[in-house]
């Protein structure tokens, strides 16, 4: 575990590690784990993975953890959420509280309900809400909650808070932002009730106000009540910064609320504000947070959203823009972020803002991370591998993120590791992606791996595109082949076009164009059978260089293999930049490239339309493993393992996980 600064050494982030008290309960620093759905609960009970997830983060040094939303009202029955509305799962709640609070970390349970909202396809079958109005994304029309049902809800939430208190929790956070149920009641866009819970702003705030009062009455003054509030939900006619400034002082009075946290976006096209990716500026909502903070001077404010670095957090606190810092994704990636920051260590494994974590939970899979292959494992916090029984000589071929991950883990286990890098830099295709628009944070994956490789003593040979002979000459005990993958030639096009170099693949093209500043003019056509983020980052770059960019895809829409929060941002940027999308088409072999004409052929009817003035035609397609070295190495009798895309082209998450496992398997 991280060490504290030596006696006499100045602590690197004095504001971040200054103590604070909420409801009289001590916080050792200002770092909060923001609520995130883990999808780790089983049948409404605590799972061992879930317990490890929170215990690992408490061990990592944050002062406060807000859990994921809990089933705290008898009608909430989601199997992955912990049951709190009766005693059925009390034992698990007690274990969770003990594991977290014993690390001098306060634990808050989140009270939340999505209301009419849904982030997945289809309608929400269990939706309830303020009024009979459709959800902006899923068009779910909710059951309209009656006065009696609202009273039952408030009563259950208050009793659940008291149960959490008995179980050893320090408080609750009410999630009344992000477009969830309480937010829906606050917003005139979703609430057209004519009873006491609708109409005037005060009426629309009534539900949240009653909830706060009921919890306070049930749990007393020394129980922390945090409140997530809308800061700007990005929906016209709903809650922007001006109305947020009216709401905050009405609800956040001292004694009622112990901290406020302003949130962004809603269950709407603005959902991507909820979890901003790296296309947003860093800490994008700080300006509005500052303005809203001024409306509630007596209540501590928690800043949240794309704050990834301790120096940024320190600056926010030092400038008085907030009293607390919430980290969501950064603590998924590195639970020891606080301890490392406190010790002034430079080896934080940073969040890359890819939102794969969100993608996972939307697939109903447990929370996982592209840049942390060990989420919720027993050994996760400040992880460094234990030595292997026998030191072996290992050659890793390929310095992309799969090979690098395997190399540092194997070397950290005591093996003698030589990494053969074809180029002069580490990180492979991720390094190229990091240079595209919105890719900046991706460098954190290979930067961390390079640091760990150095610490572990990996010997790196640059600039060697190794042949089987080169590898055999090193006489390894085992070889890890991590030579990646290449985009497949679109099979509907004549292979001669590839051989003549008429149609480059998107990756090769980006490597050439990424530094090009001079506009090329004409139309760029991108055939998209990829649907991941890098393809659209490339399209953005193309739009800087070409007059017109057309994306054609055989599916009915684009960006299908990106999480919804990311996809909404992609769609907005493409529309804003005027990038055109042609769905349900493939390029036709009857295209006349020499005349600058690409024909787009409808996948069902074969009807063709012409795209003229084409000066560039490129493709982004499913990849094929670059595993040509496998057969000769196997023949030479080596212990061989294919790693990452070289085994099978998959996701970034699969690449780091595979590399990590390979480094351990030796
Ligand atoms: C995978 C994931 C799940 C989340 N689930 C919740 C949730 O259930 N309740 C909530 O209030 N916020 C949720 N959030 C939002 C976070 O609390 C936080 O506001 C957001 O991630 C921005 O902070 P960050 O940039 O530090 O990640 C979730 C975020 C992520 C990434």
pLDDT in tens, 174-191: 999 999 999 999 999 999
DSSP state of 67: E
**Does 183 contact ligand 1 (Cβ within 6 A)?**
no
Pocket probe for ligand 1: among 54, 177, 328, the residue whose CB has the most ligand atoms within 8 Å is: 328
pLDDT tens for residues 133-157? 999 999 999 999 999 999 999 999 9
What SS3 state is found at 81? coil
pLDDT tens for residues 595-604? 999 999 999 9
Distance 275 CA to ligand 1 centre (A): 6
Q: What percent of the chain has pLDDT over 70?
A: 99
Residue with tokens 């049930």: 218
Structure tokens at 368: 């996982």
Residue with tokens 């799969």: 402
**Does 329 contact ligand 1 (Cβ within 6 A)?**
yes
pTM passes above 0.75: yes
Nearest CA among 340, 275, 280 for reference residue 310 = 340
List residues bridging with 609 in a β-sheet. Answer: 600
At residue 186, φ and ψ (nearest 5 deg) are: -70, -25
- When pLDDT is cut at 50, 70 and 90, the band that residue 124 belongs to is confident
What SS3 state is found at 249? helix
Structure tokens at 585: 């088409």
Q: What was the pLDDT predicted at 653?
A: 97
Residue 10 has pLDDT above 90, yes or no: no
Q: What is the 3-state secondary structure (H, E, C) of 96-146?
A: HHHHHHCCCCEEEEEECCCCCCCCCCCCCCCCEECCCCCCCCCCCCCEECC
**Does 305 contact ligand 1 (Cβ within 6 A)?**
yes
**Does 357 contact ligand 1 (Cβ within 6 A)?**
yes
Nearest protein CA to atom 5 of ligand 1, as residue = 36
Nearest CA among 533, 580, 585 for reference residue 556 = 585
Q: What was the pLDDT predicted at 122?
A: 84
Find the mean pLDDT for residues 528-532. Answer: 98
pLDDT tens for residues 450-480? 999 999 999 999 998 999 999 999 999 999 9
pLDDT tens for residues 616-648? 999 999 999 999 999 999 999 999 999 999 999
Pocket probe for ligand 1: among 30, 37, 351, the residue whose CB has the most ligand atoms within 8 Å is: 37
Residue 346, C-beta contacts closer than 8 angstroms, at least 6 positions apart: 451
Pocket probe for ligand 1: among 32, 33, 35, 53, the residue whose CB has the most ligand atoms within 8 Å is: 35
Q: What was the pLDDT predicted at 257?
A: 98
Q: What was the pLDDT predicted at 8?
A: 59
Residue with tokens 């409801």: 23
Nearest CA among 74, 73, 79 for reference residue 40 = 79
Residue 199 has pLDDT above 60, yes or no: yes
Pairing of strands 106-111, 64-69: parallel
**Does 175 contact ligand 1 (Cβ within 6 A)?**
yes
Distance 320 CA to ligand 1 centre (A): 23
**Does 275 contact ligand 1 (Cβ within 6 A)?**
yes
Q: What was the pLDDT predicted at 6?
A: 60
Distance 459 CA to ligand 1 centre (A): 39
Q: What percent of the chain has pLDDT over 90?
A: 96
Q: Are 33 and 327 in contact (CB under 8 A)?
A: yes
**Does 334 contact ligand 1 (Cβ within 6 A)?**
no
- Residue-averaged pLDDT of the chain: 96
Q: What was the pLDDT predicted at 246?
A: 98
Q: Are 373 and 644 in contact (CB under 8 A)?
A: no
Distance 323 CA to ligand 1 centre (A): 19
Q: How far apart are CA 602 and CA 583, in angstroms?
A: 9
Q: List Cα–Cα distances, 333 to 307, 344, 357, 375, 666, in angstroms.
A: 13, 18, 10, 8, 25
**Does 340 contact ligand 1 (Cβ within 6 A)?**
no
Q: How far apart are CA 99 and CA 76, in angstroms?
A: 25
Q: How far apart are CA 178 and CA 37, in angstroms?
A: 13
Residue 1 has pLDDT above 60, yes or no: no
Residue 558 has pLDDT above 80, yes or no: yes
**Does 35 contact ligand 1 (Cβ within 6 A)?**
yes
Q: How far apart are CA 127 and CA 117, in angstroms?
A: 7
Q: What was the pLDDT predicted at 123?
A: 87
Residue 194, C-beta contacts closer than 8 angstroms, at least 6 positions apart: none
Q: What was the pLDDT predicted at 7?
A: 58
Find the mean pLDDT for residues 345-371. Answer: 96
Q: What was the pLDDT predicted at 125?
A: 83
Neighbour count for residue 80 (Cβ, 10 Å): 20
Structure tokens at 638: 């080596």
**Does 127 contact ligand 1 (Cβ within 6 A)?**
no
Residue 9 has pLDDT above 90, yes or no: no
- When pLDDT is cut at 50, 70 and 90, the band that residue 37 belongs to is very high
Distance 505 CA to ligand 1 centre (A): 36
Q: How far apart are CA 469 and CA 398, in angstroms?
A: 16
Neighbour count for residue 145 (Cβ, 10 Å): 22
**Does 69 contact ligand 1 (Cβ within 6 A)?**
yes
DSSP E strand boundaries for 145-257: 171-175, 224-232
Q: Are 25 and 222 in contact (CB under 8 A)?
A: yes
Nearest protein CA to atom 29 of ligand 1, as residue = 36
Helix then strand then coil, in percent of the chain rounded to 5, is 35, 20, 45
Pairing of strands 623-625, 485-487: antiparallel
Residue 240, C-beta contacts closer than 8 angstroms, at least 6 positions apart: 232, 233
Distance 179 CA to ligand 1 centre (A): 12
Residue 351 has pLDDT above 90, yes or no: yes
Q: What was the pLDDT predicted at 425?
A: 96
Nearest CA among 85, 107, 112 for reference residue 95 = 107
**Does 181 contact ligand 1 (Cβ within 6 A)?**
no
pLDDT tens for residues 380-406? 999 999 999 999 999 999 999 999 999
Q: Are 478 and 394 in contact (CB under 8 A)?
A: yes
Q: Which ligand 1 atom sits closest to the C-alpha of 68?
A: 8
Q: How far apart are CA 653 and CA 26, in angstroms?
A: 37
Nearest protein CA to atom 23 of ligand 1, as residue = 305
Q: Which ligand 1 atom sits closest to the C-alpha of 264?
A: 19
Residue 1 vs residue 264, higher pLDDT = 264
pLDDT tens for residues 65-90? 999 999 999 999 999 999 999 999 99
Q: How far apart are CA 395 and CA 478, in angstroms?
A: 7
Q: Are 89 and 83 in contact (CB under 8 A)?
A: yes
Residue 3 has pLDDT above 70, yes or no: no
Q: Is 146 exposed, middle or buried (0-12, 13-18, 19+ CB in 10 A)?
A: exposed
């Amino acid at each position: 575990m991280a060490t504290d600064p030596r006696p006499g050494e100045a602590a690197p982030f004095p504001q971040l590690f200054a103590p604070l008290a909420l409801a009289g309960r001590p916080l050792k620093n200002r770092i909060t784990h923001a609520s995130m759905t883990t999808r780790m609960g089983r049948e409404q009970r605590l799972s061992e993975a879930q317990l490890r997830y929170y215990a690992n983060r408490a061990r990592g040094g944050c002062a406060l953890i807000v859990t994921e939303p809990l089933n705290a009202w008898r009608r909430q029955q989601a199997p992955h959420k912990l049951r709190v509305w009766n005693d059925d799962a009390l034992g698990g709640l007690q274990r969770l509280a003990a594991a977290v609070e014993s690390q001098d970390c306060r634990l808050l349970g989140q009270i939340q309900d999505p209301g009419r909202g849904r982030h997945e396809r289809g309608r929400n079958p269990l939706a309830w809400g303020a009024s009979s109005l459709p959800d902006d994304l899923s068009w779910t029309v909710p059951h309209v909650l009656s006065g009696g049902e609202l009273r039952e809800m408030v009563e259950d939430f208050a009793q659940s808070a008291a149960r959490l208190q008995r179980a050893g929790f320090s408080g609750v956070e009410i999630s009344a932002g992000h477009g969830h149920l309480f937010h829906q009641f606050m917003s005139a866009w979703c609430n057209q009730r004519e009873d006491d819970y609708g109409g005037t702003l005060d009426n629309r705030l009534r539900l949240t106000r009653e909830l706060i009062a009921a919890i306070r009455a049930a749990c007393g003054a020394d129980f922390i009540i945090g409140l997530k509030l809308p800061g700007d939900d990005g929906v016209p006619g709903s809650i922007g910064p001006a109305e947020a400034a009216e709401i905050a002082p009405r609800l956040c009075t001292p004694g009622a609320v112990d901290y406020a946290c302003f949130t962004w976006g809603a269950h709407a096209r603005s959902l991507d504000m909820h979890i901003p990716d790296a296309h947003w500026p860093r800490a994008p909502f700080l300006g509005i947070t500052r303005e809203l903070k001024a409306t509630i001077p007596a209540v501590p404010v928690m800043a949240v959203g794309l704050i990834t670095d301790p120096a940024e957090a320190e600056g926010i606190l030092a400038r008085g823009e907030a009293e607390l810092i919430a980290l969501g994704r950064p603590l998924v990636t590195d639970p020891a972020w606080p301890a490392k920051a406190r010790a002034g260590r430079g080896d934080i494994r940073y969040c890359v803002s890819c939102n794969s974590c969100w993608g996972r939970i939307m697939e109903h899979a447990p929370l996982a991370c592209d840049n942390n292959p060990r989420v919720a494992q027993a050994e996760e916090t400040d992880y460094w591998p234990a030595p292997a029984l026998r030191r072996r000589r290992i050659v890793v071929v390929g310095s992309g993120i799969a090979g690098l991950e395997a190399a540092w883990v194997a070397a950290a286990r005591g093996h003698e590791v030589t990494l053969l890098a074809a180029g002069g830099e580490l990180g492979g295709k991720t390094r190229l992606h990091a240079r595209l628009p919105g890719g900046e944070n991706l460098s954190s994956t290979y930067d961390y791996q390079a640091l760990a490789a150095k610490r572990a003593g990996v010997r790196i040979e640059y600039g060697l595109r190794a042949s089987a002979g080169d590898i055999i000459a090193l006489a390894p005990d085992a070889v890890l082949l991590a030579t990646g993958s290449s985009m497949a030639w679109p099979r509907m096009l004549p292979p001669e076009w590839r051989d003549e170099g008429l149609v480059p693949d998107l990756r090769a093209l980006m490597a050439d164009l990424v530094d090009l500043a001079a506009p090329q003019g004409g139309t760029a056509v991108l055939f998209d059978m990829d649907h991941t983020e890098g393809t659209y980052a490339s399209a953005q770059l193309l739009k800087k260089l070409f007059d017109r960019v057309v994306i054609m895809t055989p599916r009915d829409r684009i960006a299908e293999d990106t999480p919804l929060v990311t996809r909404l941002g992609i769609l907005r940027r493409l529309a804003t930049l005027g990038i055109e999308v042609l769905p349900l088409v493939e390029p036709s072999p009857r295209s006349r490239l020499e005349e600058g004409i690409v024909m787009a052929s409808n996948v069902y009817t074969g009807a063709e339309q012409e795209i003229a003035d084409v000066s560039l035609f490129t493709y982004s397609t499913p990849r094929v493993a670059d595993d040509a070295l496998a057969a000769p190495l196997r023949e030479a009798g080596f212990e061989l393992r294919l790693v990452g895309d070289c085994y099978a082209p998959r996701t970034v998450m699969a690449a780091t996980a595979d590399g990590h496992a390979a480094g351990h398997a030796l």
